[in-house]
Amino acid sequence: MRWSGYLMSFLLGVPVAHAGDVPLSLESAVEQALRSAPQLDARAEGADAARSLTVSAGRLPDPQLILGVDNLPVSGPDALSATRDAMTMRKVGLMQEFPSARKRRLQRERAEAEAGVADAELQQSRLEVARDVAAAWIRRATAEVSLRELMALEPEVALQADTVRAAVASGRSTTAEALAADTEVGQFANRILQMRSEIRKATLDLGRWIDVDPSQPLAAMPSFDELPTPAAALLASADQQGPMLPYESRMAAARAEVDLADAERRPDWSAELVFAKRAPDLSNMVMLQFRVGLPLFTRHRQDPVVSARHADLRRLEAERATALRAYTTELKQMLADWELLGSQIRRYERDLLPLARERSRAALAAYGAGRGELRAVLEARRQEIEFVLDHARLQGERGRDWAFLRFASPLQVRF
């Protein structure tokens, strides 16, 4: 029975309520998406991998085992014998490289910065998912509001057609006018079918983000008249929002790369400790030696790398500045659109919709009394329907702007 209800919901484009169904709120949909979105799992695994690399970063390299034979004769009576010639030694030892403490510190800083990039990208993805699922929820919610408002007009559209038929029966109207009224009824029915189709599409889009049944009833739409963060605070913190989040860690990693390239101008060193075994009647030996790198040609080796890393850092700084300008502009446009749409919606609710309803009723009453024309009735009704749909469209657009601003910062999302 439950699956048949879901099928009916999908075919008709409206949710079918079941006993025990809890309306799905916008915040609940966002929380569900943040728990189950596979792209967030992928980002989280990448962040875990980056954090794991910080454990090994900056450690001393693994020691190397040394095995060999020195002075092995290859000709004469002692050829290939490791015990007959006095100079032959079988040796075993260890070699350890010792990069500078500065270089190892910078390697740790670079790994931590790269882990910070992965964490910031995870936060950015969570914000994007929150915005997308909120937009999908709002799309379905506004489509359902539009459908309800259209359905509320259905009795009046039917009354309009009945009034025209009565006028035709009394001889006050022509058959052509009756056909025109019936055409309006058919077009109105098509509007309802289109809105049901929009609800189906919005439900499928919402189901892409959440694990629960997407056709369950929705809770009431939240008010889009208030932002959780004032506009001035949003603009002041633009560099800590959405697409700007990874840049600080990327720049920290780039600075660590610059310092690492510069550290290559300083030599590293290594030590070898070797035990050498000689013939049985000869003394065994121990060898200790140190090796130090000689960066003598820095102009052609290390300096170009340092210059390249500096160029990478400057490029990243320029990219951040460009991204911040673009995002700040987008944020200002969203705030301006949100405010403008609010004014337009209030005007529809205060003036346009009430006047359109009164005009439709007045035109129909005048026509029924024989004092008006059918053309005026049809035109008034079309305009009322258009105002209803425009009002719902504006609500949806403002809701999407609100969702963009609502989920602009990671501080506004429960991670």
pLDDT of residue 16: 47
DSSP string, 140-189: HHHHHHHHHHHHHHHHHHHHHHHHHHHHHHTTSS-HHHHHHHHHHHHHHH
Burial grade of 63 (CB within 10 A; 0-12, 13-18, 19 or more): middle
Better pLDDT: 11 or 36: 36
DSSP string, 321-371: HHHHHHHHHHHHHHHHHHHHHHHHHHHIIIIIHHHHHHHHHHHHHHHHTTS
Q: Are 134 and 405 in contact (CB under 8 A)?
A: no
CA distance 20 to 14: 18
List the beta bridge partners of residue 69. Answer: 90
Q: Determine the 3-state secondary structure of 286 from DSSP.
A: strand
Q: What are the tens digits of pLDDT across the range 307-352?
A: 999 999 999 999 999 999 999 999 999 999 999 999 999 999 999 9
CA distance 205 to 45: 26
Looking at mean pLDDT, say which of 3-7, 85-89, 179-183, 232-236 comes out highest.
232-236
- Does position 9 have pLDDT exceeding 60, yes or no? no
CA atoms in the 13 A half-sphere facing the CB of 191:
20
**Model confidence pTM above 0.85:** no
Q: What are the tens digits of pLDDT across the range 230-272?
A: 999 999 999 999 899 999 999 999 999 999 999 999 999 999 9
pLDDT of residue 412: 64
Structure letter (DSSP) for residue 70: E
Looking at mean pLDDT, say which of 77-86, 241-250, 369-378 comes out highest.
241-250
pLDDT band at 117 (very low <50, low <70, confident <90, very high): very high
Task: Classify strands 285-292 and 269-277 as parallel, antiparallel or unpaired.
Answer: antiparallel
pLDDT of residue 11: 39
Nearest to 126 by CA among 249, 48, 51, 43: 43
pLDDT of residue 21: 64
CA distances from 247 to 25, 49, 121 (A): 33, 19, 10
List the beta bridge partners of residue 275. Answer: 92, 286
pLDDT band at 168 (very low <50, low <70, confident <90, very high): confident
3-state secondary structure 210-262: CCCCCCCCECCCCCCCCCCCCHHHHHHCHHHCHHHCCHHHHHHHHHHHHHHHH
pLDDT band at 376 (very low <50, low <70, confident <90, very high): confident
Q: What are the tens digits of pLDDT across the range 127-145?
A: 999 999 999 999 999 999 9
pLDDT band at 399 (very low <50, low <70, confident <90, very high): very high
